[in-house]
Amino acid sequence: MSRIGILPIDIPAGVTIEVSEDNLVTVKGPKGELQQRVDKNITVKVEENQLIVSRSTEETDHKAKHGLYRSLVNNMVTGVSVGYTIQQELVGVGYRAEVKDGNRLELSLGYSHDIYIQMPDEVKVEAKTERRQNPVITLTSIDKQLIGEVAAKIRSLRPPEPYKGKGIKFVGEQLRRKAGKTASA
């Protein structure tokens, strides 16, 4: 029995869910609209203010997909009602972040050149730099999967190193630090 798959999804006010004949789940809310195609062996039903996800058989593949599709639909419901936000911090001397042309991020990360990243239309980016503070990049979107991919791509440009902690890290993330060399006398 899938512990995650059997949990019902509460539908908040202002969110509508439609399930088509070919198992295409469409979730509409105040922030936007998302769609997800569900496996044919997984049944999605809307009952009163809850969404129930169930499977047809006890096969291993169906059990695995039961929890997966329940989580995907739950992420869609949360995204269109509340949205997702990821904040990343640039730690390092001379590291800068700037938003240009609406949705293009310009990063200066200590390389010989600046890095430009064009954001997808679904992801909104904001860069904030305060005096004597590290620059912070804020990503907001309704699609959890897409915002996670974009954040991972940005972080991969300069991952935090374990000695001084320089690099791009998530706000609130605790890094494992290593001791440096010890001088021999």
Mean pLDDT of 59-80: 92
* Domains in the chain: ranges and CATH: 9-81 (3.90.930.12), 84-170 (3.90.930.12)
- What pLDDT band is residue 185 in, cutting at 50, 70 and 90? low
Predicted pLDDT at 1: 58
DSSP of 139-163: EEES-HHHHHHHHHHHHHTSPPPTT
Q: Which of 36, 72, 65 is nearest to 55 (CA)?
A: 65
Predicted pLDDT at 102: 84
Is residue 17 predicted with pLDDT exceeding 80? yes
Q: What is the pLDDT of residues 38-50, one digit of tens each?
A: 999 899 999 989 9
